[in-house]
Structure 1
Amino acid sequence: MTTAPAPTSATAVAEPTTRTGWLPRILLANLVVEVLIVVTGGLVRLTGSGLGCPTWPECVPGSYTPVPHQAEGWHRYIEFGNRTLTSVVSIAAIASVYAVWRWAARRRDLLVPAIGVLAGVGVQAVLGGITVRTGLNPVTVAAHFLVSMCLVAASAYLVFRAPEPAGPRALTVHPLVERLGWATCAVAAVVLLLGTVVTGSGPHSGDADEPARFGFDPRTISWLHADAVMLFVGLVVAVWIASRLTASTARPGRAWAAVFAVTIAQGVVGYTQYLTGLPWVVVLVHMLLATLLVVALTRAMVALRSSAPR
């Protein structure tokens, strides 16, 4: 009587590796749709389609979808498309929580942000309804965008942290560099906040017929935003140089070089939109780059620590 051969070590790890291979794919898909809904949300605002569906949760009274001969015209399709994408984002967030629970159940560093993203999607849905029902109040519109940036950051953290071991990781740079990195993140938050005020004070405030604005002088707010960006650029350069000088590997330096590259591209687009009268296509690119900057900044902060356990 023969017996089956004992599995080799390679065979033993093949199945778990195959199964957990779904985890990074699901987390990456979640990040992609989080970025995409920011872009489509920007398209809604920049085309004046914020009230393309004038009520919530219905599109129009008595219907959850646009209806023929609706007064909002083509704007209804853009707004409804953004609402529809919310369902895709919700599915991706649920899938991320399941994937982390299924294949990394003991990793609290992944489970907590995954649950946070799912909760944030629910908050965004409610906040979107409040935004519509308040006639696109610029405060709620700004909050809607800023919460999206938080969800992008959390989703990016999941993508970049998941391949690494659980538990504490050693710093690969001088401790002051990490502190400077956190200060850079804080200034980035201020830059994003001022960016929402700039948009809420300009022509692209959400509705084509009855725009709701903060009432600030657009030129003054724009220059204040630009000053904050200059401070941010200086901090990015400082962290980049410090990483190259103190890091035990090349990983932090490359990550912060990417942050610098996205920042410069963002600055070029920002000045272009300002000098060309804020064409909505250029403003939309500016919003996309802002989202990619959050992704790059999250990656750079993760890269300041070793990819091996302490």
Structure 2
Amino acid sequence: MTAPPLSAPSTTAPAASTGAVWLPRILLLNLVVEVLIVVTGGLVRLTGSGLGCPTWPQCVPGSYTPVPHQEEGFHRYIEFGNRTLTSVVGIAALLAIVAVWRWADRRRDLLVPGFVVLGGVAFQAVLGGITVLTGLSPVTVAAHFLVSMVLVTAAALLFFRAQEPAGPRALTVHPLVERLGWVTCGVAAVVLALGTVVTGSGPHSGDADEPARLGFDPRTVSWLHADAVMLFVGLLVATWVAARLTGTSSRPGRAWAGVFAVTVVQGLVGYTQYFTGLPWAVVVVHMLLATLLVVALTRAVHSQRSTLLQHAA
């Protein structure tokens, strides 16, 4: 008798196991660095380091890095550090696409937000250069922040979506609740935009010597921003309650509860910074919470549909 031929060892299982470990880690890293660069960008502005590297793409004429005895002092290191982090964000975005291509069967629903992040990083680099070359125009500074919020949304969507199988996603709440959730997100976008107007009208423009302003009365736009926040909170509570009442699982209700928790903390920090004269450390926390609010909103909207129920059925 002849022995049966040996079958070739399968590489599918080890590859799938490796992907199950590394894919979520890489996508989480992609999200974390997107949040981090928003915070470091805030530090650049709040420490008056926006022109620490007074030109672009070079830091100073003739050098891409800070040089000794540069008149911008320590501000040059803060601004250059933020520029350097842009490269890290770009590498993380590229790794995310490679990971999806390698371990997630090139899923379109993951590749699209992945390429949005990668393309957005390149766009942000150019927009950051324009911001420097225009002397920190408050309009370009505001646009820089708002584009970052779009990239954080895309990175968060990529991370949360990858935790579910591919396929059509069924509603987990009443259709009206889903629409209400989108309206709530729309008002949140208005709140963020008004927040940039408040910043552009206040003392933290980004340059220590010649701050730029939008020209609006800071007190007036601050209260307009607060009014928009009140509308957002009302819609948020309504969405949270409706999600709990109509959800086919507890997942949507928990996700909207998370949004509410971040909102409460953000509101406390916002009023604290307003009544304490906008200390830069408190403003940094406010910016971080604004970014985390975007992540929480993305998670909440994503929770309103799911493929997990279909696979379970």
State if a TM-score over 0.5 links the two structures.
yes
- C-alpha distance in 1, partners of 2:12/2:201? 60
TM-score with structure 1 setting the length: 0.96
Query: Hey, what does 1:176 align to over in structure 2?
Result: 176
The residue type equivalent to 2:283 in the other structure is: V
Whole-Å separation in 2 of the counterparts to 1:2 and 1:153: 58
**Alpha-carbon deviation of 1:156?**
0.3
Q: CA deviation at 1:309?
A: 6.3
Distance in 1 (alpha carbons) for counterparts of 2:59 and 2:41:
16
Pairing 1:194–2:215 present = no
Q: Which residue of 2 aligns with 1:112?
A: 112
CA contact 1:165–1:309 (8 Å) conserved in 2: no
Instruction: Report deviation, 1:20.
Output: 3.8
Q: Distance in 2 between matches of 1:5 and 1:237?
A: 63
The change in CA–CA distance for 1:106 and 1:98 in structure 2 (over 3 A counts) is closer
Write the deviation string for residues 242-300 of structure 1: whole angstroms up to 9, x where unpaired.
01100010000110000000000000000000000000000000000000000000001
What's the CA shift for 1:308? Answer: 1.7
Aligned partner of residue 308 in structure 2, secondary structure: strand
Kindly state the Cα deviation for residue 22 of structure 1 after the two structures are TM-superposed: 1.4
**Is the 1:184–1:236 Cα contact (8 Å) retained in structure 2?**
yes
* Matched residue type, 2:55: T
Write out aligned runs for 1:159-308 (5 A).
159-308=159-308
Count of matched residue pairs:
309
- How far is the alpha carbon of 1:17 from its aligned partner? 2.6
Q: Deviation of residue 15 (structure 1)?
A: 3.9
> Alpha-carbon deviations, 1:196-239, whole Å to 9, x = none?
11011000011010001101000000000000001111111111
What are the equivalent positions in structure 2 for 1:55-94 lying under 5 Å apart?
Answer: 55-94=55-94
**What CA RMSD, in Å, does the superposition of the two structures yield over aligned residues?**
1.8
Q: Secondary structure at the match of 1:65?
A: coil
Provide the identity percentage.
77
Shift of 1:307: 4.0
Q: Which runs of 5+ in 2 are unaligned?
A: none
CA contact (8 A) 1:171 1:304 kept: yes
Q: Which amino acid aligns with 1:37?
A: I
- Give the counterpart letter for 1:131 in structure 2: T
Write the distance in 1 (CA, Å) between the matches of 2:4 and 2:219: 81
The separation in 1 between residues aligned to 2:106 and 2:93, in whole angstroms, is 19
Q: Do the aligned partners of 1:27 and 1:155 also contact (CA within 8 Å) in 2?
A: yes
- The residue number in structure 1 matching 2:102 is 102
Contact map agreement 2:168 2:307 (CA 8 A) in 1 = no
Q: Which residue of 1 aligns with 2:35?
A: 35
CA contact (8 A) 2:263 2:293 kept: yes
1:139-158 matches, within 5 Å, as: 139-158=139-158
Q: CA deviation at 1:305?
A: 1.2
What is the aligned partner in structure 1 of residue 17 from structure 2?
A: 17
For residues 127-138 of structure 1, the aligned pairs below 5 Å read 127-138=127-138
Give the 4+ runs in structure 1 shifted more than 2 A: 1-9, 11-15, 17-21
User: How far apart are residue 103 of structure 1 and its match?
Assistant: 1.8
CA–CA separation in structure 1 for the residues paired with 2:308 and 2:6: 34
8 Å CA contact 2:35, 2:291 repeated in 1: yes
TM-score (normalizing by structure 2): 0.95
SS in 1 for 2:69: coil
Task: Give the whole-Å Cα distance in 2 for the aligned partners of 1:2 and 1:238.
Answer: 70
* Residues 5 and 239 of structure 1: CA distance in aligned 2, closer, same or farther (over 3 Å): farther
Shift of 1:16: 1.2
